Amino acid sequence: MSTRRERIEESLRRSVADLLVFGELRDPRLQRVGCGVTGVRVTPDLMQARIYVDITGEAAAVSAALVALNASAPVIRAEIGKKMHIRRLPQLRFERDESIEEGLRIEQALAAIRAEELLRAKNVEGAGEGES
């Protein structure tokens, strides 16, 4: 990946995160959820940017927030355009980052496996002591 593209991705990530954190977007659908930017991927031609967000809240509020972010994309793009000085700012598309939830599910599964192994080990030790 080119360093220019990486710089643009990082600048976009910071700029969008600032807009979300400092509440400059006044859409009520965004007020009911927690929202953070986890990553940005820009196409090689620098025309499109996927912005990955982690949204926490009730399921209905989460999907409404994602719709609100995509509806607000032109406004967000205009605000970012005032701060970033590049010839052509990419079109923005927001997508939910599922990797955090997937990581939590994996951690829970691993914890359950560890607990099961500990229980088996204790049962084996207890059975060995009972035979004496």
The answer on 92 and 38 residing in a single domain is yes
The answer on 51 and 27 residing in a single domain is yes
The 10s digit of each residue's pLDDT in 41-81 is 999 999 999 999 988 888 888 889 999 999 999 999 998 98
Q: Check residue 11 and give its pLDDT.
A: 92
The answer on 111 and 71 residing in a single domain is no
Q: Check residue 128 and give its pLDDT.
A: 67
Share of the chain above pLDDT 90, in %: 37
What is the rounded CA–CA span in Å between residue 107 and residue 115?
12
The answer on 116 and 77 residing in a single domain is no
pLDDT band at 129 (very low <50, low <70, confident <90, very high): low
pTM of the entire structure? 0.74
The answer on 50 and 39 residing in a single domain is yes
Radius of gyration of the chain (CA): 22
The answer on 20 and 67 residing in a single domain is yes
Number of structural domains (the chain) is 2
- Longest Cα–Cα distance of the chain, Å, equals 81
Residue 37's domain comprises 3-97
What is the rounded CA–CA span in Å between residue 93 and residue 69?
8
